[in-house]
Structure 1
Amino acid sequence: MTPEDRYPGPDPHHAGRHPQQDLDVLPYGSYFEPNPPQEHPDSAAGAGEPTGLPGGQDATQSGYGGARYLEQHWPVAGHPMPTAYPVFQASEHREPAAEDPPTIELGPPISEDDLYVAGYPQPAADPGPVGPLYVVGDVHGYLDELLHALHQQGLVDAEGHWSAGRARIWFLGDFTDRGPDGIGVIDLVMQLAAEAAAAGGYCRALMGNHELLFLGAHRYGDEPVQSTAGTASFRAAWLLNGGQQHDLERLQGHHISWLKRLPAIALEDGHLLLHSDTTAYLEFGASIAEVNDAVHGLLADEGADEWWDAFRRFTKRFAFRGPGGPMAAGELLATFGGHRVVHGHSPIPYLTGEAGNDSGERPYVPGPYIYADELAVAMDGGVTMEGRLLVARLPVD
């Protein structure tokens, strides 16, 4: 039994001020799928799966603890920018990085040859000292909010171009779905990767579970996959979890190549960077290189069912919450290195329990959330539920 099994999330909560219910997502770390054409053979036994979901839907259960909730996207036009709350500012006593990693090497997101073909400036010849390290939480298609948050931290200029010199940025995944412009977000991150390299810094990104879902919807469409709720498809699950048809229509080959090359896990300045707050990464390897190779190999060679299994594993959540949280975080750190886990995936209002109140007020997210005996930092500010899109400098104190 894993820590996720032992410490389930809060009771389901559907109250709120949004009358729409078009994005029912993530009950207990899982994704909704259509009912199978026939009764699931385990339905009589219950199998631990919820019933009576809206629209006759079933929920694909991962068996891991979490909160069932509705995440609603803001209207495309007219919604407020997330400026009502103070932007997290790095304190003046930040410690510098211990060593200078390669800074003109672009890493997984894009190759140097790609940059020159695209006409971007070449990387700086003299790397110089390493710059500060930043992380960005789940974006989910909210391009305007992302530009606003990056500009507030001085990382981009008013036109959205890199202005941070030798700074380093890691995006923690989930670029698409729910928000209005997922492809625009991907294009921006690719652009910043090139511009940062030219300035002697870098901009890199992790693969989130929504990247797997998005790629699966493109590659496998309505092809049946076997899930615990019965036969489903990537496209059905993607649409029910905020998939935007215009993003799929705008998806191009260079987007696909970039997304498939993203690492699942990384280590920077003693921070173990993950998308999902789960121990499922341990199931893919005993080192960072093994995990990333396993995920890349799966995306290159395996079929729909294998993709679906990987997607489900990376959808698990809340491993670091509750009494067993420090143990789960410590296991990852002992295996992959580092002294603190930094993740996205689970919105901070659900980790803190604030999303379970009935006030109907916008969640208060002052900044990254440190928990699990200070072994974990959560970076999903809940932009899809009227929280904030977080950009923070590491280390967070």
Structure 2
Amino acid sequence: MRTLVVGDIHGELAMVQALVKKVKYDSSQDELIFLGDYIDRGPDSKGVIAFMKQLQQAGAICLSGNHEQIMYEAFKNRSTESWLHWLHTAGGVATLKSYGFDTEDIEHSMSPESFVTAEIEEDLEWIRSLETYVERDDYIFVHGGVDPEVPLSITPKHRLLWIRQEFHDNYRGKKTVVFGHTPTPRLHKERGNFAVYFGDNNIIGLDGGAVFGGALHCLVLPTREIVSINAKG
């Protein structure tokens, strides 16, 4: 049995569909895990969520990313600060456009009231239902990373979605942590190097910056083969 792990998608529906096909995913034999960040910045966040739901029904595991949490809070907190942060910092304008809203209406909005539809409410409920991590005998799968100082079972959700440098530098656990969230050029400390990051301290970074012109990666376990779709075709 293979375990297939896919990094941050960010609205790149065509890329994730091509990747699932390229890796020859078989729901009857393979375990498929997505590490979150399905939405924002890219062209078709709505389509990616629909595709994730379809795969989930066939047995795939979809974990939450920090961008899902940002969107959820933007709608549910009903604060101007949360709303504008999602739209203009996290890339929510592109997400709302994928639901058919007009760019000008989005960019001039100060609250979510005009954008609450049954379709979006359904997708927000799906986001709310997502797990934060999956643990196996030899691996931990999570969006941001794990806190080196806190047991996984009691680590706050926010920490698992957002942690970066402290995890990258200080993790020393026996289980290999497979994560997204941090584009791999930052991990490699090399601009333009979107390859999967295999850290010396048992961490594997899969965010190949698909939405930034990099690649969407799938880690195949137990062989650790990498199957990728390049954003530039």
Preserved CA contact (<8 Å) 1:318 1:351: no
Structure 2: gaps (5+ residues): 100-114, 226-233
The CA deviation at 1:216 is 1.0
Preserved CA contact (<8 Å) 2:147 2:160: no
Change (3 A) 1:133 1:281: farther
The aligned counterpart of 2:187 is 351
The CA deviation at 1:353 is 1.7
Match 1:279 to one of 147, 151, 157: 147
Asked whether 1:379 is paired with 2:206, we answer: yes
Superposed CA deviations along residues 59-108 of structure 1, whole A, max 9, x for unmatched, are xxxxxxxxxxxxxxxxxxxxxxxxxxxxxxxxxxxxxxxxxxxxxxxxxx
TM-score, normalization: structure 1? Answer: 0.47
The aligned counterpart of 1:120 is none
The aligned counterpart of 2:171 is 329
The aligned counterpart of 2:230 is none
CA radius of gyration, larger in: 1
The CA deviation at 1:380 is 0.3
The aligned counterpart of 1:339 is 175
The aligned counterpart of 1:314 is 161
Q: If each structure's helix is expressed as a fraction of its own residues, which one has the higher value?
A: 2
Code of the residue aligned with 1:329 in structure 2: it is: Y
CA-atom RMSD in angstroms: 2.4
Code of the residue aligned with 1:380 in structure 2: it is: D
Preserved CA contact (<8 Å) 1:277 1:319: no
Match 1:152 to one of 15, 22, 27: 22
Match 1:242 to one of 86, 91, 101: 91
The CA deviation at 1:378 is 0.3
Once the two structures are aligned, what percentage of the paired residues are identical?
27
TM-score, normalization: structure 2? Answer: 0.78
Preserved CA contact (<8 Å) 2:145 2:160: no
Preserved CA contact (<8 Å) 1:270 1:340: yes
CA–CA distance in 1 between the matches of 2:166 and 2:98? 31
Aligned length: 204
Preserved CA contact (<8 Å) 2:6 2:35: yes
Preserved CA contact (<8 Å) 1:173 1:205: yes
The CA deviation at 1:364 is 4.2
CA–CA distance in 1 between the matches of 2:18 and 2:182? 22
Change (3 A) 1:189 1:280: farther
CA–CA distance in 2 between the matches of 1:318 and 1:277? 9
Match 1:204 to one of 61, 85, 103: 61
The CA deviation at 1:365 is 3.2
CA–CA distance in 2 between the matches of 1:315 and 1:247? 25
Match 1:260 to one of 122, 128, 131: 128
Preserved CA contact (<8 Å) 2:139 2:178: yes
SS of 1:351's equivalent?
helix
Preserved CA contact (<8 Å) 1:277 1:346: no
SS of 1:219's equivalent?
helix
The CA deviation at 1:279 is 2.0
The CA deviation at 1:275 is 0.4
